[in-house]
Structure formats: structure tokens, C-alpha cells
Amino acid sequence: MVRADVCVRTDGGLLHHQSPGRQPQGGSFHQRLCRRKGHPFYTIADLATPTVPIGLGLGRLGNFINGELFGRVTDVPWCMVFEKTGGGPLCRHPSQLYEAFLEGLLLFAVIWIVGRRPRAPGTLFWTLIAGYGACRIFVELFREPDAHLGLLAGLIYLVWRISCVSRKRFPLFHSHSCWEAA
């Protein structure tokens, strides 16, 4: 059943992030499906990779329209005021637009260029992972840390997510007792 207010941007709408585990769950599902059907994981991942920057770019444009995830206070000529969405009367970086450009357009262009050449399976997938990481690290210099997480809690959460993904690949580095609850 679809909620009637799914497109109401003042209530979160289509950009409401409820589950922080969606990417690992999606990757895990993709890996199990490929194994079950006998398809090579990286070949299928490379096919899906060009769609990810499109979704990231459109999602960041949605964040901009909603006035979410605004940047740090600045005095650059292109700064914007996000007063109605919690940014206060101060002029801030439009970090959503930076992310839409870098994670959307630029990353798509890089993947398109790499994809036009002969390559080993998984090259596009890992280009996406590395490119997204580089873009995100750069944009974090201009972005206001999430109020409910802060910068330190966000980094701790990121490390936890990475270690949860890597624990099955590298079990020797993880104590089994501390990961039972995860």
C-alpha cells in the first residue's frame, strides 16, 4: 500500500532515509542472487553501475529542493540561505549541488569513459566505489555535519558499516563474539 503523502516534501517524502542498512542489504541480495542463478557477480555489478550516479545526482537535487543536508556557513558569492529548513539566517554552501555535480554528473562521466574501453569484470563497479568515496570525502569539507550524529558519530558509523561488510570476507580480523549482535 502506498502512502498518500509519499510525495509531500515537508514530511520527508521520497527522500526520507529510514534504514541505514539498505546498501549492504542490497549488495548482499545481489551477491546471493548471482550465486543462485550462476551469473558472475562483477559482470552484473558492472551492468548496474552506470545507474547509480544518476540516482545519486537526482537524490541530491531532491535534497536541495527539500533544503536538506545544507553546507557549512560561508561567504562565497554563490552561498544560499536555508532558513525555513533549519539552516538559520546564515549564508551556507549549497553542498547538495556540489554532490549532485560530483556524485552525479562527474562520476557518471568517469564511469562512461572507463566503460567504453575493454576492461576486466568489476572495473566499473570499483571505479564507482572509489569515485564515490573520493567525491564524498571532498564534499564533506563543505557540508554541515548531521545534527543528530555529528562528525565523530558519523565517522564511527561509517567504519562500523565497512567492518560489517568486510567481516565475511576477512573473518580472521574480527572477533566472532562481538559481531553476533550485528
Q: CA-based Rg of the chain, rounded to a whole angstrom?
A: 19
pLDDT in tens, the chain (182 residues): 444 444 454 555 544 454 455 565 666 777 787 888 888 888 888 998 999 999 999 999 998 998 888 889 999 999 999 888 888 899 999 999 999 999 999 999 999 999 999 999 999 999 999 999 899 889 988 988 766 666 666 667 667 666 665 555 544 444 444 444 44
Q: What is the pLDDT of residue 182?
A: 43
Q: How far apart are the first and last CA of the chain?
A: 30
Query: Is the pTM higher than 0.85?
Result: no
HSE value, Cβ hemisphere, 13 Å, CA-based, for 142: 20
| Domain range annotation of the chain | 22-144, 146-182
